[in-house]
Structure 1
Amino acid sequence: MVDGAGIPLAIVLTGANRHDSMALTAVVDAVRPVRQKRGRPRRRPVKLHADKAYDFDRCRRDLRARSITPRIARRGVESSSHLGKHRWVVERTFAWINRFRRLVVRYERHADLYRAFLTIAAAIIAFRARKRFC
């Protein structure tokens, strides 16, 4: 899960043969509190943009139960250009992660090692973004 600027907020590893919608609740629950300019740190996002892979009633119910407004593209609808304005941020983050050659091909046999390298890549991406904006 990434924020509006493409900074990784949560990383959850799943098997390659598992559907993306099955890990939605794990990803949302993995988000740590994010500091804001004022008030308490926000635990969960206000709204969540997702592609057509998450277009299930179960996903929408789970998000609404957590007080998150689901913005999910509908299956069977050709034009999802409105949600595409937000989806490119996620694709750009994937491109940033793919610049780390160690992560493009998974050489590690253990998931915890791969997750560690992925976390380091996310930290570097966040550091570079902060450096760019500050």
Structure 2
Amino acid sequence: MAKTSILTELKNFMMRGNVVDMAVGVIVGGAFGKIVSSLVSDVIMPPIGILIGGVDFSDLSIVLKEATADAAAVTINYGTFLQTVFDFMIIATVIFFALKGISKLRTKKEEEPAAPPAPSKEEVLLTEIRDILKEKK
């Protein structure tokens, strides 16, 4: 009986709307991340590389110890770090503008409040009667 209740609880947990939405968000986010990474590495970085003299950022490194027959070279690959920073900045910018566009679609343009309708004849008459009664006091 304990297995059934645990399985039921697990099923109920997994079928909650927010858990399913989060799973979809993670999957779509992963795919979107690949698209943006390709945009950065294949479209944006080559012109930047040309502007700075044809340097490919991923090749930039500082050699701390040259390679020997027994061991590979020890390097600080700051170009890879720069590439990752540029990726982050571009991803953040793309997400910012995407969310800004989505929020514009969600929020409807606020209509200007309509002018209050003119009082009816009855209201005007009642207002006049009220004013006359105030004057008599």
Structure 1-normalised TM-score?
A: 0.27
Higher RCO (CA < 8 A, seq sep 6+):
1
Q: Whose helix fraction is larger, Structure 1's or Structure 2's?
A: 2
Structure 2-normalised TM-score?
A: 0.27
Higher radius of gyration, 1 or 2 = 2
